[in-house]
Chain A
Amino acid sequence: MTKILGKTGLESWLHNIMQERALVAPKHVGDLILFDPVQSVDEVVFDYENTNLSPKEFFFPRTDTLFTTKSQDNDVELIPTIIDQETVIFGIRPCDARGIAMLDGPYLDDPADSLWAQHRNKTTMIGLSCTKPAPQCFCTSVGSAPNDSSSVDIMLTEVDDGYAVEAVTEKGERLLQGVELKESDVTLSAPSCDTSVPAEGIVETVKKVFDSPYWSRLADRCIHCNVCAYVCPTCYCFDIRDRTDKGKIERIRTWESCQSKGFTRIAGGHDPRADKGSRLRQRFCHKLLYFPQQFGPLSCVGCGRCVVSCPVNIDIREIISDLQELGAKVG
């Protein structure tokens, strides 16, 4: 039996959620669709392919204060950031949710990152499975599916008279308490997504082609902006710096990317990844080799954002194919 929540039922549920918690949902911002806090259900966009930016920023904000300082009587106290706000993210896609769950690997590994842990604890993810994957999507090729509910708290699937509801976690069940659901015997269709990206065995392949001139040829075209990293739900590199403002001192963390020139520059001016080819290789090796070696899955969830956003068409799907071809030749 499937449990169904009608469209009006969904709206009033979201409205109720908003009373006590912050609700984040896909919303029109200019001509983009972004995850953004919404003040009313009217703002929520229900029909969209994928947002322009990933929802990772509600767990790993573009700018975060790690701590502030307070000085008194020659003593300096460090005040860590505490997150009180309970947040619900509505309409998160399975791929994005998977990306966030994946980052528990690096961020919750001992010693756990306190901010990430707090964001994870305070946030409930209501997933919305994809009924029509976009042409750039390839989640099925990298071990997921358009209806993969493994990383969300509640999974919704659009059906004729509303949404099929599945409470995945305890957190999800709590949020659904008191919500009236109809029983129905509707069977949910399983939409398919691009399965043609040959990601299987890519870890071994990347090791073989690590020294290939392929990378520097590919880097010819790359302009080394940070777009791919910033739209990516699984890119999690950052920069940290202290900031003073009128006597207030804080340590801040912001997004950074291995594609930017100064990212690996060290004291004395040496940069171990000074050329474009090694920087580009770093991005793909991290996704397809180092991350899987450390944490298991490929660090790509197939959302296709980098494919669409790259100004010069550096396409990870094409790169995976090229590498496999290259690897087969190397033997």
Chain B
Amino acid sequence: MGEDFTQQIRDKAKELLENGAVECVIGYETGSDGVSARPAFIYDAAEVDRLAFDNTCTHNLVKYLLDKKGKSTAVVVKGCDSRALNLLLSERQIQRDKVYVIGVVCPGVVEWGWNKRSEQLQKRCNWCRQHTPVVSDFAVGEPITEEPPAEFADVAEMATKTAEDRATFWRDQAERCIRCYACRQACPGCYCIDCFVELLDPEWVGIRIAPDENWMWNTIRAYHLGGRCISCNECERVCPVNIPLSLLNRKLEQEVLDLFDYKAGMSEDAPAPLITFKKDENLGIAE
């Protein structure tokens, strides 16, 4: 896979930069440790040989398109990342004709660590039902058809605990949080100009880096991605104190699937569940 995918990406990038179709190609290159990938921005066809693809390419590069608004850009996406394209397209954050999508059929990515070569697939890859990109202008790899049912064993396990244990669990997580906002910064769905957590008036969340405030931050961060999270799980990967954010995201994903039969980022047109409604629906409240 690696060599071949890398070559195809390089060739395509070269072509796009040489004929002026795009200004920049956002892909992956090998990081400073010589082991794990990192995002790469290629502006010059002479530099395309920096590009590489292997199973350490964890980053969701779609996030960077938000910095490239209005500029023709090519981006390398995996299956999960490609769903973020649909999310941003449906929310009118990017323009389809400005983005050239190099879609890689994802081989699954391994646990990412500086100077660590892991063979262990990331959690998200075990849940993933979308190895083939949903949006693509140039496909790398053979598309796979897959439609096994969604799986939420981790969420179900949490639900077996008592309410008190659940509250304690999340309290402990909040205590560890240092509010670095890496989860938000890595997320393609988090692009508010003024995030609620930094608003001064009203001050929704105090600036104290303390359990109460951290709990509020983590709760609302997850909720604001309800029906929008595309399960790339980058938030959890970048967390310096290993808070299992995927549990919250997946709880919401499961509920959104149950209540609204909706999966985020699968199409550009389907309205997100929380901006629409049905008059006659039974959601289990006030019935």
Contact = CB atoms under 8 A, between A and B. Distances in A.
A touches B in complex, CB < 8 A = yes
A29 interface: yes
Nearest to B31: A313
A63 B39 contact: no
B63 interface: yes
B107 interface: no
Contacts of A114: none
Interface in B166-202: 176, 178-182, 184-186, 198
Contacts of A309: 240
Interface string A305-318: 00111111101011
A178 interface: no
Contacts of A252: 207-208
Contact of A313 (B67, B114, B185, B198): B114
A221 interface: yes
Interface in A225-243: 225-227, 229-231, 239, 241, 243
Nearest to A262: B198
Contact of B115 (A52, A135, A231, A312): A135
Interface string B55-91: 0000100011001000000000000000000000000
A241 B207 contact: yes
B180 A225 contact: yes
B242 interface: yes
A318 B242 contact: no
Contacts of B216: none
B160 interface: no
| Interface size class, chain B | 35 or more
B209 A62 contact: yes
A215 to B, nearest CB: 13
Contacts of B181: 225-226, 260
A313 B240 contact: no
Interface string A114-129: 0000000000000000
A230 B240 CA distance: 10
Contacts of B198: 260-262
B67 A225 contact: no
B180 A226 contact: yes
A307 B33 CA distance: 9
A317 B181 CA distance: 24
A225 B67 CA distance: 15
B38 interface: yes
B182 A226 contact: yes
Contacts of A284: none
B59 A312 contact: yes
A162 to B, nearest CB: 32
Interface string A1-34: 0000000000000000000000000000111100
Contacts of A261: 198
A117 to B, nearest CB: 22
A276 B59 CA distance: 19
A63 B205 CA distance: 14
Contact of B238 (A62, A221, A227, A260): A227
A318 B59 CA distance: 20
B206 interface: yes
The 6 closest A-B pairs by CB, nearest first: A225-B182, A311-B238, A313-B38, A62-B209, A315-B32, A225-B185
Interface of A: 29-32, 52-53, 62-63, 135-136, 217, 220-221, 223-227, 229-231, 239, 241, 243, 252, 254-255, 257, 260-262, 276, 307-313, 315, 317-318
